[in-house]
Amino acid sequence: MKRQTLKTLLTGSALLLCALCVFFTGCGNIVAETTEEKAETSSHSDEDKLTIGLSQVGSESDWRMASTDSVKAAFSSAEGYNLIFDDAQQKQENQLKAIREFIDQGVDYIILDPIVETGWDSVLTEAREAGIPVIVYDRGIEVDDEDLYVCWIGSDFKLEGERACVWLEEFLASRGVNRNINIADLQGTLGASAQIGRSAALEEAVTLNKNWRIIARDSGDFTTAKGKEVMTEMLNKHGRDINVIYAENDNMAYGAIEALEKKGYTAGMDIENGEILVISFDATHNGLELTLDGKIAANTECNPLYGPRLTEIIDTLEKGGSVEKVTYIDEEQFSGISYIGTIQVRNRPYTVTYLTEDLINDRQY
């Protein structure tokens, strides 16, 4: 072989060798990085992970979607959980079936957001017999034996309703409105704690305010479509006789406002001049936009961000600690008018936050 050819070959081989070294070193780095990344995203092996069976109500409202996002993020695999999530599509029989499946799967914890309050005794007894702790959140349950679940965390739905009604009293007084007030109550899913509490608060307020009357009442199942359908029927029957719509969540308020506008009515605060005042609950992003516009007069928050609250409970239990049996979460209230800044409910002051676009943009849901 000619010297020059050999040199060329050697040089070529050396270059090839270098290239291969660089390539494999690079690959090594890539492999190492991928493993490190993996370690970063999940420091928990599959055996370490707690298996959680979570039975969600459905996907009926903006609030519900925010709540689902919150629990899914908190119980992610990277956080050390194996989440078995079940959407019950607003049917209690689906929740009962899901819980029985969680029991068969031998999950470590069952987390339940119950559609309605009653009908849980048998299935929760089965969970207890299987030694699986049950945590209830958002809506509550009525059971004969309170030991069937470890704890409940959620909203004081009756207080939410009381705050909404006291705000309405203050608003009417501030405007000097003395006329009879005819109210259409757009109820949530009948038998759900959120419906029971909010409807009960309205009934009490009607007893206290002698010129208030509930002239129409029906369930819109917490959805926009049903809210619109029910409100259309109410308007067909009562038309302009309705002064106030008490929508027991934001989605039904959207449906009600659509129904009003379709018939040429105006959602607003000028009751004396024929506008229909809408009260709502949840304070979701879209609900607050409508509140800023004045189409919803006051919006009482129902906070859906349960993920971190639930992981905290499970952390405590895993460490052998004890948790409160009942925990009510703090919630806010909003309006697009500035002059009712505080209201008195149950002998204590509650702030009513005057809305701004910045405030809405800063919210998580």
CA dihedral sign of residues 136, 115, 285, 172: negative
Which listed residue (165, 302, 313, 343) binds ligand AHR by CB under 6 A? 302
Buried b / exposed e across 138-159, counting CB within 10 Å, b at 16+?
A: bbbbebeeeebbbbbbbbbbbb
Q: Residue 325 contacts by C-beta under 8 Å, 6 or more apart in sequence?
A: 146, 151, 152
Does residue 281 belong to the site contacting ligand AHR (CB under 6 A)? yes
Which listed residue (56, 63, 166, 295) binds ligand AHR by CB under 6 A? 63
Does residue 185 belong to the site contacting ligand AHR (CB under 6 A)? no
Name the one range near ligand AHR by CB under 6 A: 60-68, 179-187, 210-218, 270-278: 60-68
d(CA 338, CA 125): 50
Residues near ligand AHR (CB under 6 A), total: 12
- Cα angle 297, 202, 229 (rounded to 5 degrees) comes to 65
Does residue 282 belong to the site contacting ligand AHR (CB under 6 A)? yes
Site string for ligand AHR, 240-259 (x = CB under 6 A): ---------x----------
- Smallest distance from the beta carbon of 195 to ligand AHR, in angstroms? 8
Cα dihedral 97, 103, 106, 112 in deg (nearest 10): 80
Chain CA centroid to CA 242, Å: 29
Does residue 335 belong to the site contacting ligand AHR (CB under 6 A)? no
Does residue 221 belong to the site contacting ligand AHR (CB under 6 A)? no
Rule CB under 6 A: which of 125-144 touch ligand AHR? Answer: 138-139
Cα dihedral 117, 192, 127, 329 in deg (nearest 10): -100
Which listed residue (212, 222, 246, 350) binds ligand AHR by CB under 6 A? 222
Comparison of 63 and 109: residue with beta carbon closer to ligand AHR: 63
Does residue 60 belong to the site contacting ligand AHR (CB under 6 A)? yes
d(CA 278, CA 255): 11
Comparison of 182 and 303: residue with beta carbon closer to ligand AHR: 303
Name the one range near ligand AHR by CB under 6 A: 21-29, 61-69, 178-186, 200-208: 61-69
Pairing type for strands 326-328 and 151-154 reads parallel
Does residue 280 belong to the site contacting ligand AHR (CB under 6 A)? no
- Smallest distance from the beta carbon of 314 to ligand AHR, in angstroms? 21
Comparison of 172 and 227: residue with beta carbon closer to ligand AHR: 227
d(CA 235, CA 92): 31
State which H helix or E strand residue 218 sits in. strand 212-219
d(CA 45, CA 107): 17
Does residue 163 belong to the site contacting ligand AHR (CB under 6 A)? no
Comparison of 195 and 311: residue with beta carbon closer to ligand AHR: 195
Residue in 135, 138, 143 with CA at minimum distance from that of residue 325: 135
Does residue 66 belong to the site contacting ligand AHR (CB under 6 A)? no
Does residue 61 belong to the site contacting ligand AHR (CB under 6 A)? yes
Which listed residue (50, 54, 56, 64) binds ligand AHR by CB under 6 A? 64
Does residue 116 belong to the site contacting ligand AHR (CB under 6 A)? no
State which H helix or E strand residue 156 sits in. none
Does residue 54 belong to the site contacting ligand AHR (CB under 6 A)? no
CB 198 within 8 A of CB 260: no
- The token pair that represents 147 in the structure block: 């030991």
Q: Which residues of the shown chain bind ligand AHR in the complex (CB under 6 A)?
A: 60-61, 63-64, 138-139, 194, 222, 249, 281-282, 302
